């Protein structure tokens, strides 16, 4: 049995990239990404880098920083809240990676964004409410029972 055609390989890598783009804030790891694409861990890392020019972990952290930039610019949240919302587990690693990719710290980026004008920030409570998982997910997949008929 030979290697799958290039289009099949790219389609499976695209599924993994779509998983990262969709679930960047979740605790996904390279092993889960590789399984989603149907690759072994190390073969997946090599194939992903060849296709997209970055390792899956680098792509994931860039995606998280991209979302963090948007939140720091548009939402009234602290840097720590943004760090957690985009999926970083450590404020130090978030700040380091953010600084590496943008050239300034998250707090400096937020300060500059607010000083340059633009739309008023969205209240943090609204962002937190809209970024929370749906009730079925929060209750470990069990559907919520509704009291009485729905109108």
Q: pLDDT means per 10 residues in the chain (151 residues)?
A: 66 93 90 92 95 95 96 92 94 96 96 79 66 48 43 39
* pLDDT, position 151: 39
User: Which residues lie below 8 Å from residue 98, measured CB to CB, with a gap of 6+?
Assistant: 65, 68, 105, 106, 109
Domain with CATH 1.10.10.60 in the chain: 59-133
* pLDDT, position 48: 95
* pLDDT, position 7: 75
* pLDDT, position 117: 75
Residues pairing with 123 in the sheet: 76
CATH class of 59-133: mainly alpha
* pLDDT, position 119: 63
* pLDDT, position 41: 94
Q: Which CATH architecture has domain 6-53?
A: Orthogonal Bundle (1.10)
Using the Cα atoms of residue 97, residue 54, residue 113 and residue 132 in order, give the sign of their dihedral: negative
> CA 73, 75, 77 angle in degrees (round to 5)?
110
**pTM of the entire predicted model:** 0.75
* pLDDT, position 131: 61
Burial bucket for residue 56 (CB in 10 Å: 0-12, 13-18, 19+): buried
């Amino acid at each position: 049995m030979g290697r799958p055609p290039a289009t099949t390989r790219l389609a499976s890598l695209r599924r993994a990239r779509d998983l990262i783009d969709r679930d960047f804030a979740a605790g996904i790891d390279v092993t889960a990404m590789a399984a989603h694409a149907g690759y072994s861990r190390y073969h997946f890392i090599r194939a992903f880098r060849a296709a997209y020019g970055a390792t899956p972990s680098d792509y994931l952290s860039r995606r998280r920083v991209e979302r963090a930039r948007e939140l720091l610019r548009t939402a009234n949240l602290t840097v720590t809240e943004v760090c957690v919302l985009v999926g970083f587990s450590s404020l130090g690693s978030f700040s380091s990676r953010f600084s590496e990719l943008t050239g300034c710290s998250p707090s400096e980026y937020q300060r500059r964004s607010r000083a340059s004008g633009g739309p008023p920030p969205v209240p943090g409570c609204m962002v937190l409410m809209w970024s929370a998982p749906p009730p079925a997910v929060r209750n470990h997949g069990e559907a919520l029972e509704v009291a009485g008929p729905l109108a």
